[in-house]
Structures are given as C-alpha cells and as structure tokens.
Amino acid sequence: MAFTLRLSDPAPPVSVEAWRRLARRRLPDLAWNYLDGGADDLVTVNENMAGFLRHRLRQRCLTGVRAPDLSATMAGERVALPIALAPTGAAGLSHWTADVAATRAAERAGTRAVLSTASSYTLEEVAEATEQNHWFQLYPFGNRDKVGALIARARAAGYTALFVTVDVPVVGNREGERTAGMTQPWTLTPPRLLNMARRPGWLHAVFRRRRVAAVHYVERAAEAKAATLAGGLRRAIHGAGDDAIASAENQARYMQGDLHWDDLAWMRDQWQGPLYVKGVLDPDDAAQAVDRIGADGIVVSNHGGRQLDRTLAAIDALPAIVARVGDRAEVYLDGGVRRGTDVVTALCLGARGVFIGRPYLYGLAVAGEAGGAVILEIFRAELERALVLMGCPGVGSLDRSWLAQRPGDT
Ligand code: FNR
C-alpha cells in the first residue's frame, strides 16, 4: 500500500481521551468547566475512572472467537452494543445540534439515548428528528402537576422508558463552573462575553441554532426573557423554551428537596413502561426502589462525580447493588466509562449495560453528530477487540469468571 502524507487531513483522534483534548481546545472555559468539571476536589470524578483500573481481565487463547456478539437488551430494547447515551442537560453548550445530534448518533450506532429534562431541544423536537423511540430522564422538579404533565408529554412523544434521577436534591458544589461564570440564573456580563469571544468557532457552533430557528425565536421572543441578549444565549443553550427547564432554572434546582419514596411510587403509577431509578449508590436504596416501588431497575451512578464528592466510584458501588437486587432487576452503571475494557469490567461485575456522558459531549463539541458517532464507534471497536483478545464469545457471557485474580487479591 502506498504511503501518502497529507498534512491537511490529519488522522482523527483515536481515543476518547484524544477527543477530550480536542474538545478542550474548542470550548471556552465556561462551557468546558460545565462539561468536564465536577464537585469539590474532583475526587469522585477521578475515582470513577480509576476504579476500573483496579480490575484485571482474564485472557483465554486459541478460542476461535473472531466476531463476538456485542448485542444486548437495555431498557426493553435490543441494542447493537451494551452502551447507551446518558442524559446531559444543556448539551447545546457543546454544539448547537445538541440532543438531536446525540440521539441520531446513538441511532447510527444501533443504540439509544436518554433525553435529559434539561435538554436543549424539546422532547417533541428530538422525537420528530429521530427514527427510533428513545428514553426520557425525569427530574422530579416543581410539583406533581408539573411532573405529571412532563410524563404525559414523554409518553405522547413515544419515549419508551423513564429514568428518574434522584441524586440532585441540591446541585453539587461545582467550583469550576462557578469560577468560569456558569451560574444560574444566566446573565451575560462583559467578562463572560470576553471569555466566549476567545473561541469564535464555539460561538458559531452554539449560536448557529439561533439563525436556523430565527423564525421560531422571533415568534417567541416577546413571550420570554429571550428579548434580551442573555435570554437569547440561554435559549441558544436550552432550546426553544422548554417549560421544564424554565421552571427548573427559576428555582435553580432540579428536584424537589423533600422528595420521598412515596413520590416515586406515584411516578411509578403514572408511567406504564419500564422505569429506572438513576443515581443510586446504596444497596438499601436499590432494594427500596425495586421491592417497594416496583422499579424495573437501577442506574448505579454518582452523576459523573458532579454531586457528592467522595462518594463511592460507580464501579465500586456496583457489586453490592448487583448482589442485592441483580436477581430481580436490571442494573446499569454510568460514570467514568472511557474504554471498551471499562465496559467489559462493568459487565463482568453484573451490569447489564452502561451509559456514557462526557465522552459523547466531547464528540459533539468537536464535530456535532459525526463526532458523537465516532465516539460510539471507538467504544464499539474497543469492546469488540477486547472480547476477541479475551477469547470471549459475546457480552452475554461476561461474568465474574472473566475477571482475573492478581496475587494478593482477595
Ligand atoms: C450530566 N448528567 C445528568 N444526569 C441527569 O440525570 N440529568 C441531566 O440533565 C444531566 N446533565 C449532565 C450534564 C453534563 C454536562 C454531564 C457531564 C452529566 C449525569 C450523566 O447522566 C451521567 O450520570 C454522567 O455523565 C456519567 O459520567 P461520565 O460518563 O460523564 O463519566
């Protein structure tokens, strides 16, 4: 094969970490700190990733495995790989195509996305722009009327599973966000404007939606704070005036502080499809969700280390929850998944599948939908290669027996 050197066409980044570095260069501090930051000292952010590194995989040879089966069933849907997109609010800070791009990228990879309550496009817009039925994440904000209305909208738009996030009774102490000016409510100040102006490519990437949606914007401008520049930016980020986010923003909180298990039982009654509780780290809570509320499953998650710092890494919390409810509920994990081998490890420890958050946002920030699709392809290729090298016929075979013991491991 002839070797040609084309300086104009550098090889695309080959790993999630390489996409991360590229995204960092594209985004102004404000957006970057929001996307990549976490609570307090980032202990949990870092342990989410480091936790995977403590495990070792078993390698069998001469097994003849060449094309391992990567398909799995997640939240009632057959997916091409056991990886789906976690909900992320204000994805429009990464790229104007935001949730629509992310959800389409998931479809291209044969999987699904969970749309955030704090999405940049309304749940109806995302449903219209995509082929498959996706899943909806619920922040139980406000009161039962509001939550009930949002659940009804999600059902009417065709979302098939509900993920109720329960780990935000108050927003975590994200000092990076605060220092960079990502406060709520949003106001546009000269320093912030200066910060954003340092990344003209980003301004273009975020504000392009405003031009595309100009008619819609003018129609609605009179109604809301969008009459101001700050309002315009907020709507560029948060989309076409989703009631949910407006309400959450006004209250500067995403969850009723006094939310209780009875409220969750009420939500269970409102939603007939599969329901998952996201943000559980304690086996007692997992048992409550499954046995008392009738949740179909749990997402073991610490919100990507953005809430309580120094709580357990997701991968470290997983085994006890699997031991407690794994025989009667679906257990998923998110937090710190950056490699195909991380996915393997989570599945060995009993997760049915995993969700990724920041990785696909890196993809969006660099290249919109195509970037999100490349990230999922990186995961798919890494997962496939890892299974071939392990000699494992498919993700359905992974269990603890595929973890190798190191000398000194108990
Ligand atoms: C989030 N996460 C989140 N979770 C949720 O239930 N609703 C939301 O609106 C958001 N918003 C959000 C924004 C951003 C920028 C990030 C990074 C994360 C948490 C998310 O669903 C998931 O739990 C973590 O992102 C998983 O960790 P990793 O994959 O980012 O390490």
Question: Which residues are known catalytic residues?
Answer: 303
CB count, 10 Å around CB of 132?
A: 17
Name which residue sits closest to atom 6 of ligand 1, judged by CA: 165
- Asked if residue 319 has a cis previous peptide bond (ω within 30° of 0), the answer is no
**Residue 94 CB less than 6 A away from ligand 1:** no
How far apart CA 272 and CA 269 sit, in angstroms, is: 7
How far apart are the CA of 379 and the centre of ligand 1, in A? 18
Picking from 51, 35, 84, the residue whose alpha carbon sits closest to that of residue 336 is: 51
Q: Measured from the CA of 119, which atom of ligand 1 is nearest?
A: 9
Question: Under a CB-based contact definition with an 8 Å cutoff, are residues 160 and 133 in contact?
Answer: yes
pLDDT at residue number 183: 65
pLDDT-flagged residues of the chain (< 50): 1, 213-232, 235-252
Q: What are all long-range contacts of 232-237, with beta carbons under 8 Å and residues at least 24 apart?
A: 233/186, 233/188, 234/186, 235/210, 236/92, 236/96, 236/206, 236/207, 236/209, 236/210, 237/90, 237/92, 237/93, 237/120, 237/186, 237/206
DSSP designation for 224: S
Query: Across the strands, what pairs with 394?
Result: 69
Question: Under a CB-based contact definition with an 8 Å cutoff, are residues 84 and 106 in contact?
Answer: yes
146-172 tens-digit pLDDT: 999 999 999 999 999 999 999 999 999
SS3 135: strand
Picking from 100, 96, 101, the residue whose alpha carbon sits closest to that of residue 213 is: 96
Question: Under a CB-based contact definition with an 8 Å cutoff, are residues 265 and 292 in contact?
Answer: yes
**Residue 118 CB less than 6 A away from ligand 1:** yes
End-to-end CA distance of the chain: 50
Which domains, ranges and CATH numbers included, belong to the chain? Answer: 34-175+253-393 (3.20.20.70)
Residue count of the chain: 410
Enumerate the known binding-site residues: 34, 87-89, 116, 137, 139, 165, 174, 278, 301, 303, 306, 334-338, 357-358
The predicted model scores a pTM of: 0.90
* Cα–Cα distance list, 151 to 174, 272, 400 (Å): 29, 10, 37
Helix axes 98-108, 358-390, angle to 10 degrees: 10
pLDDT at residue number 295: 98
Mutate to test the pocket of ligand 1, among 19, 303, 339 (most ligand atoms within 8 A of CB): 303
How far apart CA 344 and CA 17 sit, in angstroms, is: 18
What amino acid is encoded at 196 in this protein? Answer: M
**Residue 165 CB less than 6 A away from ligand 1:** yes
50-106 tens-digit pLDDT: 999 999 999 999 999 999 999 999 999 999 999 999 999 989 889 889 999 999 999
CB count, 10 Å around CB of 187?
A: 14
**Residue 116 CB less than 6 A away from ligand 1:** yes
pLDDT at residue number 244: 45
**Residue 119 CB less than 6 A away from ligand 1:** no
Question: Judging by DSSP bridges, how do beta strands 77-79 and 72-74 pair with one another?
Answer: antiparallel
Question: Under a CB-based contact definition with an 8 Å cutoff, are residues 42 and 385 in contact?
Answer: no
Name which residue sits closest to atom 15 of ligand 1, judged by CA: 35
SS3 103: helix
Residue 133's φ and ψ, nearest 5 degrees, are -85, 130
pLDDT at residue number 180: 81
